[in-house]
């Protein structure tokens, strides 16, 4: 069974029904349908919560929770994840995205993201995109 790391952009795009969310939902469902494990780090929950606070009425936690519940594993970031994010990704990517990418690489997972910058960095690092 393969693992697919889901980053925050995916959950937030679907929960907020942002532009392109239908295609993202199709990709998400396809990963689930082929039996891959959906995984992420606790960073996903943190980013969703902070976005919900920032957006207020635009984002209900009830819209986010089903996506969190659908994950097979939600793990804490390890020292190896932090080290890789700081020293092992030689491409420009935002700090929290570097942590997502490092966690994905260290979990030997494919990446499901709707963030172009993160997808570009992942491609440069040889990470398969879902």
Q: What is the pLDDT of residues 93-116, one digit of tens each?
A: 999 999 999 999 999 999 999 999
Residue 1 pLDDT greater than 90, yes or no? no
Q: Which residue is associated with the tokens 């606070």?
A: 53
Number of residues that this document lists for the chain: 130
DSSP state string for 21-88: HHHHHHHHHHHHHTTPEEEEEHHHHHHHHHHHHHHGGGS-HHHHHHHHHH-SEEEPPPHHHHHHHHHS
pLDDT the model gives residue 100: 98
Q: pTM, whole model, 2 decimals?
A: 0.95
φ and ψ of 28, to 5 deg: -60, -50
All domains of the chain in start order, with CATH: 3-124 (3.40.50.1010)
pLDDT the model gives residue 32: 93
Q: What is the pLDDT of residues 35-78, one digit of tens each?
A: 999 999 999 999 999 999 999 999 999 999 999 999 999 999 99
């Amino acid at each position: 069974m393969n693992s697919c790391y889901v980053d925050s952009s995916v959950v937030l795009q679907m929960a907020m029904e942002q532009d392109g969310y239908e295609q993202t939902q199709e990709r998400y469902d396809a990963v689930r349908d082929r039996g891959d494990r959906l995984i992420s780090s606790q960073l996903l929950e943190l980013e969703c919560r902070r976005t919900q606070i920032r957006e207020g009425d635009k984002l209900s936690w009830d819209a986010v929770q089903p996506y969190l519940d659908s994950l097979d594993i939600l793990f804490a970031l390890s020292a190896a994840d932090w080290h890789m994010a700081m020293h092992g990704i030689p491409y420009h990517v935002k700090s929290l995205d570097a942590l997502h990418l490092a966690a994905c690489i260290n979990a030997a997972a494919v990446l499901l993201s709707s963030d172009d910058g993160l997808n570009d960095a992942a491609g440069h690092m040889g990470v398969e995109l879902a």
